[in-house]
Amino acid sequence: MLSSSKPSFRADSRSLLRWFTRNGWKRTKEDVILELKSAYAIAKLRKTGYSKQKFYKEAIDLYKEINTQMANGDKGLLRKSVTENMYSVGFTSLILVVIDALKNEIKHRETVWSHVYWELMMPIVKLRTLRARLAIEESFDIYVYLFGFGDGALNFLKIGVDRNDLSKVFVQLTLEFLSKQKFEAYDSSGAVVAGDKNKEVLVRDIWVFEKSLFHQGAYWRLCGRIKL
């Protein structure tokens, strides 16, 4: 019993130390700011008729559609499901993780496997919102965190919005998916070379979805995947 309680004590000690060190206070302040920004973004989104239940259903449908399109190598349909930046080149996320472009991922997959089988087991094990934020599209702003090439032009997405100017605002929601999936890959002769479609695998993904708040009829699209 004594040995089992020690890890808990050490964990509690680390939590307490956070309140008594400069770095700890800095991290706490940053966390509070992020939470306030998330709450502000959700509040703005709700004014447009946002429903968490409806969005989660759309997100799951989009998650399934995009993974199916990736498995089938359907680049045409992918264009409708993801933002231009995500499809063409990719971008650097706020935590400086480089996201591979979907088109290049399909090309790489096609060089390794002839075709693949993919299936999402329903219902999803777990789905939750990790972060919400507002962003505004600008050109050549030095204070940017996300970037990408779209239609041959260099565009930036600035995180942090002037609350008095919401004319070109996007909202981004970062979701964590925990699901059971089946996967199997085949070579040109049809032989199985990877995976097993008879076995369920627990998969955790973090995806970022984006929607314009200034375009009538705008819909949610994938704008990034954070690699784990």
Q: In this predicted structure, what is the pLDDT of residue 223?
A: 85
- Domains located in the chain, CATH noted: 1-47 (no CATH), 50-226 (3.10.450)
Q: In this predicted structure, what is the pLDDT of residue 137?
A: 57
Q: In this predicted structure, what is the pLDDT of residue 228?
A: 74
Q: 3-class secondary structure for the chain?
A: CHHHHHHHHHHHHHHHHCCCCHHHHHHHHHHHHHHHHHHHHHHHHHCCCCCHHHHHHHHHHHHHHHHHHHHHCCHHHHHHHECHHHHHCCCECCCCCECCCHHHHHHHHHHHCCEEEEEEEEEEEEEEEEEEEEEEEECCCCCCCEEEEECCEEEEEEECCCCCCCCCEEEEEEEEEEEEEEEEEECCCCCEEEEEEEEEEEEEEEEEEEEECCCCCCCCEEEEEECC
pTM of the predicted structure, to 2 decimals: 0.71
Q: Mean pLDDT, 10 residues at a time, over the chain (228 residues)?
A: 44 58 67 83 89 96 93 81 56 34 79 93 97 70 34 40 63 96 96 97 95 84 84
